[in-house]
Structure 1
Amino acid sequence: MNACASPARRRLLVQSALFLPLLALPGCATTLGSYGVEEGVRRLLTLSTQRAFGRLTEPGGFYDDQLTRLTLPDTGGKDVLGALLRTNAVRSRVAMALNDVAVDAAERATPVVLDSIRSMTLTDALSVLRGGPTAATSLLERQIGGRLVEAMLPEFSSGLRSDALEILTAIAGTRTGGIDYLSLARAGADQASAAIFRAIGREEAEIRANPRSTRDPALIALLTGSALGR
């Protein structure tokens, strides 16, 4: 991702990166063997991911949604800066900065998620399709592990140091060297990772509930049971 690109162009690049893998998946016939079912799961996850990141990478994509909003963790500090970070007004402003950084960090997460979908092991794709409303997302989350957090951590580390420094300096008129930015960044990346999977799971559940809305014959056949013999 070009760091010098404008926010609008970066969002366009993310959208393109999400859409192209869906086009690359082979079409599934209505009579499917195990390979076709596996590709159906990947198609379901790719579309769910495309929709989720489409929302999350818009301005305010994390903060404006209760399901994905990040909150400022307790710094535990007892100094003046720690006290400032425990006041509602400051916490609110820093939390908004945290959510803004999450939008940029989500761009780093895009290739990690898409690569994981393409390469994920599907030992029982049929049970995933017949599972609960977020069964495929849960499998994806287990297989990705902590890679998503590590992918987003650099963006949180640099973004929070800049944004929090500016906010706290303006409010306190003091140095902000006492803030543990690494802990704050890791907490933000952990929250953002969990929020991303919640967002993907929500999209998966909506697709499962109304597969015809996707206009994807393969997904319609798979999720309505016509290709699974249900």
Structure 2
Amino acid sequence: MKKFTFVLLAVAAVSFVNAQGILGKIKKATSKDSSGNILSGLGKSTSGSGLSNDDIINGLKEALTIGTDSASKRLHKTDAFFTNAAIKILMPPEAQKVESTLRKAGLGSLADKAILSMNRAAEDAAGGISTIFIDAVKQMTVTDGLKILKGGDFAATDYLKANTTAKLTEKMRPVIEASLAKVNATTYWKDAFTAYNKIPLTKSQVNPDLSAYVTEKAMAGIFYSIGQEEQKIRKDPAAQVTSLLKKVFGK
């Protein structure tokens, strides 16, 4: 009986030692994983894909610079607005009655010239837009960069829209006004409304702010085009034309 009891005690002791050893290994492994992998990883890569903060911010600035420049060049061409159904500038809602009345009266050519001239003004003004975005790109913070990188497909475009719309409106309106005058848009617009106001039974004198309207619609077209460029850079390896873009967006 004593011998049997001794054997049981020996087995229990061995089991306790083994258990202690296993627990020690688990504790050691857990400690190593926590300090060696998780904590030491902080600061080395913010995105979890081997990208530093500098990589992210510089890559996004480069993407926005390339995207806005490409959009500017593409829109600064004859028919870039006029033949693109997605961004073509049409008569404003309050002037659509004018267009309809003119066409019914056989004066559709006046409306056509007014519409064409608005689009020509936007195409002309698009030539200088890339420089307008420089300040917003320079002011981008690391926090902004992370939100854009992890955001939706149009996160960079939305960032520009949120940070430049007011400034763009202020800076682009004089450019649009000059462009409208350059392509005789104000003359065509005046002709259309003068003819409309002379037609019997027209009950209201309509003459919306042409430069404000064209500025708003031109900016909408610009942001739409920048969004298309962002899509290419995010998803098309062929559009990732620099090593930094490949590093940031390729992953």
TM-score (norm 1): 0.70
Which among 161, 165, 171 is matched to residue 187 of structure 2? 165
* % same residue: 26
Q: 1:81 to 1:53 in 2, by over 3 A?
A: closer
Q: 1:105 corresponds to which residue?
A: 125
Q: 2:249 maps to which residue?
A: 223
Structure 1: gaps spanning 5 or more residues: 1-29, 226-230
Does 1:142 find its partner at 2:168?
Answer: no
Q: Aligned pair count?
A: 193
Query: Which is richer in helix?
Result: 2
Question: What whole-Å deviation, never above 9, does each CA across 1:43-75 have from its counterpart, x for those lacking one?
Answer: 111111121111101112211222221112145
- Deviation, structure 1 residue 37: 0.7
1:185 aligns with 211
User: SS in structure 1 opposite 2:61?
Assistant: helix
CA contact (8 A) 1:75 1:184 kept: no
1:205 aligns to 2:231 (yes or no): yes
Deviation at 1:221, TM superposition (A): 1.3
Shift of residue 115, structure 1, vs aligned partner:
2.9
Distance 1:221 1:141, change over 3 A: same
- Structure 1 stretch 84-93 or stretch 126-135: which is displaced more? 84-93
Deviation at 1:36, TM superposition (A): 2.0
Aligned residue for 2:92? 73
Structure 2: tracts of 5 or more residues without a match: 1-48, 199-204
TM-score when normalising by structure 2: 0.65
Aligned to 1:132: 152
Residue in 1 that maps onto 2:77: 58
Task: Indicate how the Cα distance of structure 1 residues 173 and 186 shifts in structure 2: closer, same or farther if over 3 A, else same.
Answer: closer
Aligned to 1:36: 55
Q: 1:129 to 1:174 in 2, by over 3 A?
A: closer
Amino acid at match of 1:218: L
